[in-house]
Amino acid sequence: MRTLVVLGSKPEPALPPREEIQAVACANASGFSARELGLPVPTYTVMSAILISGIASGKQSLEALRGLRTETLHVLPRPRPEGRPIKRFIRGLRSRAMSAERMRRTLAGLDYSWKEFTRRPHAWWMDMVRTACGNDPEVLEAMARKNPSTGTVAVALGLARGEWDRVVVAGFSFELTHAYGENPEIRERGTRLSRHAGTDIAVMRALGRRHSHLWTSEEIVHERTGLPLAPGSTAAGVRGDSAEEEA
């Protein structure tokens, strides 16, 4: 059975038995955990442009990526600016500062490497998630309020590619924690809860209803989404004190 583990950056992620893991996919800087755990080089990584926005949590994640690699890097751009003209103008300037080309240069400067680099519009990614969920009404309503996290987008992509007999969600907690240090955003916001949590849970519930080969190795994901627990899953230690806001 070919198994893809989609790895978030939660500390001490629970994993299925190592001999069952044929491929790994990552979100943002969860490649740090993949390396620390001795997992295969990620088949693909979905990385949000928010990492190069200048925010403290993004800088922390970029540093964790230093010297890592992935087979394919997918850049998830910022949404198209909305609102009044002046707000659209300001947000447009910010979006241009987070371009795929600038992401490429920034990562290259950190000795982060890949074989293939892809860029698609933000709308393409959101359509992919909706399609994978069968345009589930709960998902559409949730996504109208908040987009899913980069990690959840990576899960949907693994299912959409259709290359694996089993896809396992690991290293997810619906929190802002990072395996490579305490996420500065926790102190800034005064909460560990990710803003994406509600949408992520709705998306994973819908994905689970439509894709019987979607599992999780995390108790919290099982409890919140109803995804079945992968047999034999065990927690693995990763140094650091706190993973995952998948922007």
* Mean pLDDT on 106-113: 97
pLDDT score at 237: 54
Name, in order, each residue with C-beta under 8 angstroms of 244's C-beta and a sequence gap of 6 or more.
8, 9, 10, 27, 30, 149, 151, 171, 172, 173, 174, 175, 176, 177, 178, 194
pLDDT score at 136: 98
Q: Which carries the bigger pLDDT value, residue 236 or residue 34?
A: 34
* Mean pLDDT on 6-15: 96
Name which CATH class applies to 3-235. alpha beta
Distances (CA, A) of 11 to 14, 21, 244: 9, 19, 9
C-alpha triplet 164, 148, 133: angle, nearest 5°: 50
CA atoms of 39 and 33, how far apart (whole Å): 8
Question: What is the share, in percent, of the chain residues with pLDDT greater than 70?
Answer: 88
pLDDT score at 82: 59
Q: Identify any residues that bridge with 73 across adjacent strands, giving them in sequence order.
A: 45, 117
**Are 211 and 225 contacting, i.e. CB atoms less than 8 angstroms apart?**
no
* Residue 78 confidence class, pLDDT cut points 50, 70, 90: confident
pLDDT score at 239: 44
pLDDT score at 85: 63
pLDDT score at 147: 96
* Residue 68 confidence class, pLDDT cut points 50, 70, 90: very high
Range with the lowest mean pLDDT among 10-19, 74-83, 179-188?
74-83
pLDDT score at 79: 76
Range with the lowest mean pLDDT among 22-31, 125-134, 180-189, 235-244?
235-244
Predicted confidence (pLDDT) per residue in 121-180, tens digit: 999 999 999 999 999 999 999 999 999 999 999 999 999 999 999 999 999 999 999 999
Predicted confidence (pLDDT) per residue in 205-241, tens digit: 999 999 999 999 999 999 999 999 999 888 765 544 3
pTM: 0.89
